[in-house]
Amino acid sequence: MEHVKVTRTSIAARVRAFREPPASPHETRGASIVRPVVFGATDGLVCNLSLIMGVAAAAREDPHSIVIAGVAGLLAGGFSMAVGEYVSVRSQRELLEYQIDLQRHQLHHTPEQEREILREIYEAKGLAWAEADLIVRRIMRDPERAIDTFVREEIGLSAETMGSPVAAGLGSLCAFALGAFVPLLPFLILGGGQAAFAFSIAASGIALFAVGIGVSRLTHRRAIWTGIRQAALGGLAAAVTFGIGSLLGTAVH
């Protein structure tokens, strides 16, 4: 029970820390999870809206097929996004772990060569040889700090920016499922027909616009323009699939 209480306290503390305003305008807190969540929600909306519109155009008299297609798209797309994000972030972390082990080996066996590499990196940033040499000597006093510096400066990898593969996978799955549910919901409630079709488009457009507004708060871009861009791109994808579905439905019938 004590372990459970500590875990809950830790999670609550992380949530409170995330909700607090950043200490610096350059801080990108939560960037590792924001990308898969935003991408998942947008992909879920656009993908399932396009799928539903295409099937609706091809099988207008069969709302059952539209619902089946929407549910299948939600499940297949959600799990595909989750697996893809997990494997992607997990692979990045495995690469980082390999590079850390390799760097530790190199610092142990060829320290002078590694010093020269790091010195050249700082000289390329504009420091004089003496300044670069002073910084490198201080960094090399702490082996773990030296490894972290080499991985960041020489290879360009950082554990902080990668995030957790589990969090990325679950965040992407939930975001995709939530986004994909929006265009499907009117058909579940109304059962089909022109009303469900219209409500599906309207709800998806509003949701895409809202996602754009959310993105603008993270990127500090104009909110209205970002929302319109999201909705317009999603509407374009849905229009294309609706047109193709209409052609296919005509050809089949």
**Cβ atoms 118, 154 nearer than 8 A:** yes
Q: What percent of the chain has pLDDT over 90?
A: 15
Whether residue 38 is predicted with pLDDT greater than 60 in this model: the reply is yes
User: How many angstroms separate the CA atoms of 37 and 182, rounded?
Assistant: 16
By the 8 A CB rule, do 183 and 70 touch? Answer: yes
In tens, the pLDDT along 197-220 reads: 889 999 999 999 988 888 787 777
Alpha-carbon distance values, 103 to 49, 77, 115, 202 (Å) = 48, 39, 12, 54
The pLDDT assigned to 165 comes to 86
Domain residue ranges in the chain: 32-245
Question: Under a CB-based contact definition with an 8 Å cutoff, are residues 231 and 205 in contact?
Answer: yes
Tokens of 172: 């992407």
- pLDDT, average across residues 11-26: 49
What's the predicted TM-score (pTM) here? 0.72
Other beta carbons within 10 angstroms of residue 170's beta carbon come to 17
Query: What is the per-residue pLDDT across 58-100, written as a single tens digit (0 to 9) for each?
Result: 776 678 888 899 999 999 999 998 999 899 889 988 888 888 8
| Cβ contact 81:214 at 8 Å | no
Report angle CA 147, 161, 223 to the nearest 5 degrees: 155
Spatial contact of 241 and 54, defined as CB atoms under 8 Å apart = yes
In this prediction, residues 228-252 reach a mean pLDDT of 79
Rama region for 126: left / alpha / beta (φ>0; ψ in -120 to 50; rest)? left
Residue type, 149: T
